[in-house]
Each structure stands twice: as structure tokens, then as C-alpha cells.
């Protein structure tokens, strides 16, 4: 099941995207590519180019702009460097620009560490089958600052040939500076998770034996996500680790692997006396579908504060306790229920999405308060299936939710079917804040259809559209799915 901390992270990111998208609209005419004859002009960034310039640039101008960007990756002003490298990444989808990047890399890689770091930044932004071999060369650079860039690039390239290089760096750092460089070691592990391959269990096993507790916890989680069941014997001693975060991650992973002892340990971690540990254990119980924990949670409810009571009840609900479902439904529909119980009730009904409850939820999405609408949306995050489309439309149309991040988990699960509705809503508004919200919602959907719907509104909202399309295209290029 989706977990609330992840929901909050998605919300924070999407809210930030909505803020970034809000710019002053400057109508104008663009010269150049085919879109330039059709749409207006957006406000330039600090490189002098509009956010989605790559769509408007005439083909014959692409090499000269790419050359300007390539020449600037080590010489531009600091404030421009990030934007300039993003500009080059946007052009890298064109074969002529890709060839220029490869050629410059071969000619400049040994000039200085700054040149090497600059190309490391590019390989972090652009996933391409030609780049893993070149990232390997960065791992062999004498300067550690370059090797660190290689770690970041490896996470983007997600190529199994890079995992042994990450493992060697893990050994190098832990041997040279025990107890130091934890952020770098964390980066190595997550890059290794992205790259995978036959060498990943070696790296994860090494981290499970680390003297640093954060590494043991992260490695336990990666073993779970990558289903490295062969590491079970390495994980079992961590059930008695001195650090709670390690114990819960190890128990969670072993429980997913079917270890009955680990399930018992997770059940014992639900005691509200250790609130932080209990919250993590609740995530694990939901993920493992441990319905046998319902009586245990029922016994702990009287001692739980409001912050812990909410995830406890929602956990009991999503793992299938009918008694909790009836209780939450009663609280959601009762005017006499305490406010907190009513909130949990709404979240619970939204998480379940039962047909008999949807009518009430739709009504509150339009006629209720912003808090009620927010609680319904938060509840929908606990359900992995696509939510009721009419309820989703009611939440969007009702205007009670103003931050798209509050829909960051469930809106992408609906996908293309919601795009025409969002586009129609966008066509009906003249309010910049509302347009920002709707364009960001289309960005969260993130499909080709959603991207085209955003672009079709360029003439009316050039800045909002270009900011969102830039974000979408940079994300696609980083994932290697841009066309």
C-alpha cells in the first residue's frame, strides 16, 4: 500500500512545481520551428531562451545553440550553469546534438576535473545507451569530485555494468574514512539499486555488514524492494540490531520474504510507547497485509495520541478489518462524532472507495470544507487502484483543493481518462492561479496525451505551459523515454 510519508513527499514536489510554473505572461511571436508559427512567446530564462525553446528552435539552429551550451558547461556564470545544462539536455534528443556531446566528451574529458564534472552532470540529466561506458571512465578518474559525479550519473543510467564500480567506491570510502561520508554512501546504495544486476547483492550485503546504522537500514530496504531473498541470512541478525530503524527495516524485509519470526517482531513494534518505531511498523504491516495484527492494534488504540491513532485505524482498515470499516463509516456520517474521528472516517471511506460511499464523498468534495476535501484526497492515496473518476472530477472542479500535490499519488493512476476533463476546466478559466493548478495536474498525469493537452494551450498560457513542458521533458530525458 502507498505510505503516507511518500504521499507527503510527492505533495511537496508537486506543490513546488506549481509554484515554479507561475510566471508573468508575455505574449509575443516566435520565429523558427513549426510550433513557432502557431504559438505565442514565453518569458526567457536566465540563459536567454524560453523554457521550452527546444520545441520551437529551427533544426538548422540546433547545432549552434548546442555548441553554445557545450562551451558554457564549465565557463558560464554559476547562476546559469544548471539552466544551461538543462537546455543542453533538452536538445540531446536530437541525434546531431547527441553526437556533439559524445565528441566533446572524448576531446575534453582529460583537460581538467571541471570538464569531467561537467559531463558527469550531463550524464546525470540524460539517460542514453551510449553513456554507461563513458560513466565508467569517470569512475576511474583520479579526482574524487569526478568519481562522485559518476555516482550521480550511475543512478540515471541505471545500467548493471556500473554496479561493480559503485561497490568498489563503497569499499574505498568505508576503508579510508570509517563513519564518514554517509551521504555519499547513501548515494552509492541508491545508485546501485537503480543499476541492479548480478553484483547488486554483493554491494547490499556489504552495506548490511556496515558499522553505520543508516547503511544497514537502507540496505535492508533495498533488499526488500529488489527481492534479494538470498540475503535472508544476512538480515536475520539485524532483528536484534541496537538501532530501531535497522530492526524495523530488517523485520519488514524478512516478513515480505515470508519469515514468521519477522512478522512477530513487527507486531511487537506497534506499541505506541515508541511512536517513531510504531509509525514505521504500521507501514510494514500495511505493506505485508498482516491482518493478524488487528487485535494488537485494537488493544493499543486507547494509548495512542491523535497523530498515531489515524494511521493505526487506517492500517486496520486497509488490511481488511470489517469492524473498523463500519466504525469509520459511522464516524464519517455522524455530526456528533469528534472532529478527529470524522476526519479519519472520511479518509477511510476514500481509501476503500466502496460504491455505496462514493455519493457522500462526491457531495463533500463540492459542498464541504477545504479540510474535508483534503482528507478525502489523502484517503485516496491509501488505495492502489485508480479512484472513482467522478469523485476525482468533483475534487478538481470543486476548487476546494488548490495544491496539485494533494493529488500527486492518485491522479497519475487515472491517467488519460482524466485529461479531457482537465483540459476543459483549463479552457473555462481566466484565473492564473487556477490555470497553474490545472496545468500542474496535467503534468502529474504525465502521459503523451496530457503533454499534448498542455501544449495546445500555449497561446493562452505561454509561460505556464512552457514551464510545465520543460519539467516533463527533462524528466523523460532523464528516464530515457523521450522521443
Confidence at 29, pLDDT banded by 50, 70, 90: very low
pLDDT digits (tens, 9 = 90+) for 71-127: 999 887 888 899 999 999 999 999 999 999 999 999 999 899 999 999 999 999 999
Tell me how crowded residue 476 is: count the other CB atoms within 10 A of its CB. Answer: 17
Check: CB of residue 405 under 8 Å from CB of residue 13: yes
Predicted local distance difference test score (pLDDT) of residue 385: 77
What's the pLDDT tens digit per position in 302-355?
Answer: 989 888 998 999 999 989 889 999 988 988 888 777 787 888 888 998 988 888
Residue 6 pLDDT > 50: no
Provide the whole-model pTM: 0.86
Q: Which helix (H) or strand (E) holds 221?
A: helix 213-225
Residues 409/10, Cβ–Cβ less than 8 Å: yes
Neighbours of 79 (CB within 10 A): 9
Measured CA angle at 49 (ends 46, 51), to 5 deg: 90
pLDDT digits (tens, 9 = 90+) for 59-75: 999 999 999 999 999 88
| CA-closest candidate to residue 398, choices 414, 421, 380, 416 | 421
Q: How many Å apart are CA 318 and CA 266, to the nearest integer?
A: 17
Q: How far apart are CA 251 and CA 258, in angstroms?
A: 10
How far apart, in whole angstroms, are the C-alpha atoms of residue 479 and residue 475?
6
- Using an 8 Å Cβ cutoff, are 50 and 43 in contact? yes
* CB 45, CB 69: distance < 8 Å: no
Rg (CA), the chain: 25
- Mention every residue, 6+ apart, whose C-beta is less than 8 A from residue 173: 180, 181, 184, 185, 188
Mark 172-190 as b/e (b = at least 16 C-beta within 10 Å).
ebbeeeeeebeebbebbbb
DSSP count for the chain of H helices, then E strands: 27, 0
SS (H, E, C) 135-151: HHHHHCCCCHHHHHHHH
Q: What percent of the chain has pLDDT over 90?
A: 72
Q: What is the overall mean pLDDT for the chain?
A: 89
Residue 357: Cβ-neighbour burial (10 angstroms; 0-12, 13-18, 19+):
buried
- Choice between 417 and 179, residue whose per-residue pLDDT is larger: 417
The mean pLDDT of 191-210, rounded to a whole number, is 98
**What is the length of the chain?**
483
pLDDT digits (tens, 9 = 90+) for 412-441: 999 999 999 999 999 999 999 999 999 999
> d(Cα 189, Cα 202) in Å, to the nearest integer?
11
pLDDT in the model for residue 34:
45
DSSP tag of 44 = P
Q: Which three three-digit cell numbers place residue 11?
A: 505533495
Q: Residue 5 is placed in which grid cell?
A: 510519508
Read off the pLDDT band of 207 (50, 70, 90): very high
Q: What CA–CA distances, in Å, run from 54 to 77, 97, 466?
A: 22, 12, 10
**Average pLDDT for 51-62:** 96
Per-residue pLDDT at 13 exceeds 60: no
> What CA dihedral angle connects 17, 19, 21 and 27, to 10 degrees?
180
Packed helices 200-208 and 163-176: angle between N→C axes, nearest 10 degrees: 20
Identify the weakest region by mean pLDDT among 7-11, 183-187, 393-397: 7-11
d(CA 3, CA 318): 12
pLDDT one-digit tens code per residue, 261-274:
999 999 999 999 99
Q: For residue 483, what pLDDT band results from cuts at 50, 70 and 90?
A: low
**DSSP H or E segment with residue 4:** helix 4-21
Amino acid 41: pLDDT = 74
Candidates 310, 377, 299; CA nearest to 345 is: 310
Report phi then psi at 466, rounded to 5. -65, -40
Closest CA relative to residue 216, chosen from 199, 191, 236? 236
Q: Are 57 and 33 in contact (CB under 8 A)?
A: yes
Cα angle at 299 between 294 and 305, to 5 degrees? 105
24 with 463: CB under 8 angstroms? yes
Q: How confident is the model at residue 456 (pLDDT cuts 50, 70, 90)?
A: very high
pLDDT of residue 11: 37
Q: How far apart are CA 208 and CA 203, in angstroms?
A: 9
User: Residues 6 or more apart from 421 whose CB is under 8 A from it?
Assistant: 393, 396
Which of 404, 378, 436 is closest to 2 using CA atoms? Answer: 378
Residue pair 376/361 in contact (Cβ under 8 Å)? The answer is yes
Q: Are the C-beta atoms of residues 120 and 88 closer than 8 Å to each other?
A: no
Which residue is listed with cell 523558427? 32
Q: 478 with 125: CB under 8 angstroms? A: yes
Amino acid at each position: 500500500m502507498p505510505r503516507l510519508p511518500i504521499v507527503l513527499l510527492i505533495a511537496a514536489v508537486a506543490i513546488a512545481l506549481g509554484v515554479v510554473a507561475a510566471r508573468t505572461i508575455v505574449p509575443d511571436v516566435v520565429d523558427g520551428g513549426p510550433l513557432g508559427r502557431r504559438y505565442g512567446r514565453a518569458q526567457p530564462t536566465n540563459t536567454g531562451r524560453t523554457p521550452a525553446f527546444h520545441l520551437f528552435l529551427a533544426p538548422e539552429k540546433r547545432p549552434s545553440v548546442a555548441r553554445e551550451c557545450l562551451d558554457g558547461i564549465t565557463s558560464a556564470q554559476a547562476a546559469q550553469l544548471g539552466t544551461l545544462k538543462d537546455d543542453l539536455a533538452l536538445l540531446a534528443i536530437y541525434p546531431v546534438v547527441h553526437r556533439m556531446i559524445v565528441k566533446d566528451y572524448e576531446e575534453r574529458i582529460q583537460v581538467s576535473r571541471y570538464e569531467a564534472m561537467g559531463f558527469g552532470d550531463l550524464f546525470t540529466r540524460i539517460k542514453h545507451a551510449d553513456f554507461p561506458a563513458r560513466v565508467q571512465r569517470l569512475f576511474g578518474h583520479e579526482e574524487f569530485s569526478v568519481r562522485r559525479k559518476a555516482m550521480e550519473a550511475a543512478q540515471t543510467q541505471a545500467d548493471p555494468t556500473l554496479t561493480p564500480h559503485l561497490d568498489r567506491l563503497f569499499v574505498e570510502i568505508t576503508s579510508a574514512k570509517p563513519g564518514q561520508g554517509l551521504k555519499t554512501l547513501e548515494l552509492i546504495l541508491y545508485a546501485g539499486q537503480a543499476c541492479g544486476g548480478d553484483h547488486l547483492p554483493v554491494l547490499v550485503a556489504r552495506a548490511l555488514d556496515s558499522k553505520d546504522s543508516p547503511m544497514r537500514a537502507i540496505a535492508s530496504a533495498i533488499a526488500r524492494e529488489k527481492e534479494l531473498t538470498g540475503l535472508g541470512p544476512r538480515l536475520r541478525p539485524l532483528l536484534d540490531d541496537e538501532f530501531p530503524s535497522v530492526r524495523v527495516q530488517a523485520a519488514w524485509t524478512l516478513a515480505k520474504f515470508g519469515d514468521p519470526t519477522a512478522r512477530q517482531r513487527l507486531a511487537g513494534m506497534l506499541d505506541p510507547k515508541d511512536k517513531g518505531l510504531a509509525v514505521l511498523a504500521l507501514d510494514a504491516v500495511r505493506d505485508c497485509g498482516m491482518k493478524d495484527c488487528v487485535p494488537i492494534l485494537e488493544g493499543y488504540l486507547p494509548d495512542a495520541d491523535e497523530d498515531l491513532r489515524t494511521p493505526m485505524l487506517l492500517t486496520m482498515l486497509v488490511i481488511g478489518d470489517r469492524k473498523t470499516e463500519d466504525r469509520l463509516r459511522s464516524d464519517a456520517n455522524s455530526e456528533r462524532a469528534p472532529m478527529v474521528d470524522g476526519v479519519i472516517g472520511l479518509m477511510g471511506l476514500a481509501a476503500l472507495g466502496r460504491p455505496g460511499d462514493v455519493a457522500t464523498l462526491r457531495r463533500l468534495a463540492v459542498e464541504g470544507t477545504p479540510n474535508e476535501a483534503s482528507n478525502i484526497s489523502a484517503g485516496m492515496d491509501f488505495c492502489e487502484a485508480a479512484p472513482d473518476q467522478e469523485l476525482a472530477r468533483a475534487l478538481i472542479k470543486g476548487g476546494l483543493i488548490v495544491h496539485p500535490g494533494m493529488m500527486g499519488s492518485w491522479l497519475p493512476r487515472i491517467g488519460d481518462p482524466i485529461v479531457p476533463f482537465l483540459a476543459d476546466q483549463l479552457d473555462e478559466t481566466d484565473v492564473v492561479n487556477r490555470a497553474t493548478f490545472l496545468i500542474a495536474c496535467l503534468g502529474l498525469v504525465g502521459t503523451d496525451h496530457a503533454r499534448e493537452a498542455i501544449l495546445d494551450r500555449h497561446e493562452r498560457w505561454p509561460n505556464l505551459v512552457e514551464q510545465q513542458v520543460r519539467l516533463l521533458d527533462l524528466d523523460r530525458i532523464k528516464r530515457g523515454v523521450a522521443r
